[in-house]
Amino acid sequence: MHEMGIVLHLAKTLDETAEEENLTKIGSVTLQVGEVSGIMTDLFTDCWNYFRGRHKALTECELILETIPAVTYCEGCGKTYPTVPQGRQCPHCGSWETWLKQGNECIIKEIEAE
């Protein structure tokens, strides 16, 4: 359950940001989560709701999750394709020489604060 660790890191980062910027309240945080990051968004939201109450600046902070689609690049033909429905083998040329271009990230996109 790495969701709890990520939430703790996110809360710590937001606490530090609030302190550095003299913020009394953070209204929302938008987090971009990769489609194949392994983060279970329902569990992540539950952990967030639990921990935000323990951080003064975050008690009313809304968590907004955006999904980054997983995209794979094929070395064989130079094309990209959606990872989840296709898997690792390129649907264009059949090559297995592919790599994940995007979709495993977890990025703070935006913080809305007072």
Domain residue extents for the chain: 3-69+103-113
Q: What is the DSSP letter of 25?
A: -
pLDDT grade for 56, boundaries at 50, 70 and 90: confident
pLDDT grade for 57, boundaries at 50, 70 and 90: confident
State how far Cα 73 lies from the chain centre. 21
Residue 81 has pLDDT above 70, yes or no: yes
Rounded distance between C-alpha atoms, residue 7 and residue 15, angstroms: 12
The CATH number of 3-69+103-113 is: 3.30.2320.80
- Whether this prediction's pTM lies above 0.85 is answered by no
Rounded distance between C-alpha atoms, residue 47 and residue 41, angstroms: 10
pLDDT of residue 1: 54
Neighbouring residues of 50: CB distance < 8 A, sequence distance ≥ 6:
none
Share of the chain above pLDDT 70, in %: 99
Question: Phi/psi at 86 (nearest 5 deg)?
Answer: -100, -30
Quote the crossing angle between the two packed helices 3-20 and 41-52, to the nearest 10°.
Answer: 40
Which pLDDT tens digit goes with each residue over 16-37? 998 999 988 999 999 999 999 9
